[in-house]
Amino acid sequence: MQLDTARPRQGRRRTGLVLLSLPLLIAILAYGLVQRRRSLPAGESDPARLDLLRAALEAFNARDYDLATATLDRRSGVARPTALDWMLRARIARAQDRNEDALGYLERIPDSSAIASKARLFAGQILIGRHQARLAERAFLRSLELEPSQIQPYRELISIYTFQQRKKECDALFRELTRFAKLDNVLAFAWSQNECGLLDPKEAIGILRECVEADPEDRVSRLALARTSLSTHAHQDVQWALAPLSRDDPDVRAILIEDALDRAEIEEAEGLAKDIAGESPLVALARAKLALARADLRAAANAFRVVLRDDPSCPDAIRGLGLVLRRLGDPEADSFLRTSARQDELKRSIHASIQADQTDPMLHLKLGMLCESLDLNEQARAWFRLVLASDPSNTKAREALVRLAERP
């Protein structure tokens, strides 16, 4: 799972990892070598401590992994292994597809090390390559705790949260990222894709199924797999994904309610809606759809409002509430339906942009205006800044940023 660096993705499946680049690895090791040299007493000779490590790195760069390992083994006989040794051993193991060994080496790097954040990032990338999303997420979050100003862990987490349909958490990541970094067009498109829920179900199901098979205890991926399968009316797959989870779990119950409704089993849905242990946005949305199936418009409106308190931009709740209020003759319906229409326009524009020039400032300006009209102010700012980055004289973008600066 990873953001496509060429264009916003709707449907290309991840086929491999983007690991720490070779130049980055060299920079990390070079930095460590300098720090180690500075820490040695004046005049002390250190060939065992540094020269062998440098020789091992050169062998690794030449892809002579046996020589690199042998050199590190020689070094371990005369000097205690450092974080740099473990990082290089992890890189060698990863290059040889010995992922378990690589993860073991990375665990030996303490949080106090100067390269600890990169070690956790590397571990997360190995884990996501093994489709262990739950463990990868922990590693990426730990990497950010150790070094908050990194961008790559954000990219990795955004990719995970997108496929797991964790819109709210994904949006929070983007907001955090904009505090210290300017978004490129790839991240800006990814943010709006997350807002619109643009995801190829076939691709998502394939990836989520691999995550569940690799880590059967990954509850979040199971829920996402069930929801995505439901969107394709694959009812058996919904049941398979949810089978190990407790029926007392409110989110599980909500998906089962929607599954029953999709099969036109109203009585089954009503039975599932009874005695739910807790509430969640998914439960509220399921209750709204069940109320619609019973033609209880007031109950449906109330349930949609519960959803919107947690997710004010939920497309299903906004459209559903607008339609219900229209049937009730409530003039507030027009406001919700206008918002729904703008959401649809944003979704169509993002979808159409897959075939367009995604560096076009006029496209960025249009998307910024749409986001501003939906009160997606941070996303709008990101688009307008991209416009000014390529067209500094664009007065519409500049005026829009002034308007947005006056908003809370």
pLDDT for residue 19: 40
Cβ atoms of 173 and 189 closer than 8 Å: no
Distance of CA 63 to the CA centre of its chain: 32
How is 77-120 classified by DSSP, letter by letter? TTS---HHHHHHHHHHHHHTT-HHHHHHHHHTS-TTSTTHHHHH
What burial letters (b/e) apply to 197-209, b meaning 16+ CB within 10 Å? ebbeeebbbebbb
CA distances from 388 to 133, 394, 398 (A): 37, 6, 7
pLDDT at 10: 38
Q: Is 336 helix (H, G, I), strand (E, B) or coil?
A: helix
pLDDT at 356: 81
In tens digits, what is the pLDDT along the chain, a chain of 408 residues?
A: 554 433 333 333 343 333 444 455 555 555 555 555 544 443 334 555 688 999 999 999 999 999 999 999 999 988 899 999 999 999 999 999 999 999 999 999 999 999 999 999 999 999 999 999 999 999 999 999 999 999 999 999 999 999 999 999 999 999 999 999 999 999 999 999 999 988 899 999 999 999 999 999 999 999 999 999 999 999 999 999 999 999 999 999 999 999 999 999 999 999 999 989 888 899 999 999 999 999 999 999 999 999 999 999 999 999 999 999 999 999 999 999 999 999 999 999 999 888 788 889 999 999 999 999 999 999 999 999 999 999 999 999 999 999 999 887
- Residue 198 pLDDT: 86
Helices (H), 12-98: 22-39, 52-61, 65-76, 83-95
Task: Give the chain's domains with CATH numbers.
Answer: 22-164 (1.25.40.10), 200-236 (no CATH), 237-342 (1.25.40.10), 347-405 (no CATH)
Distance CA 170, CA 158 (A): 6
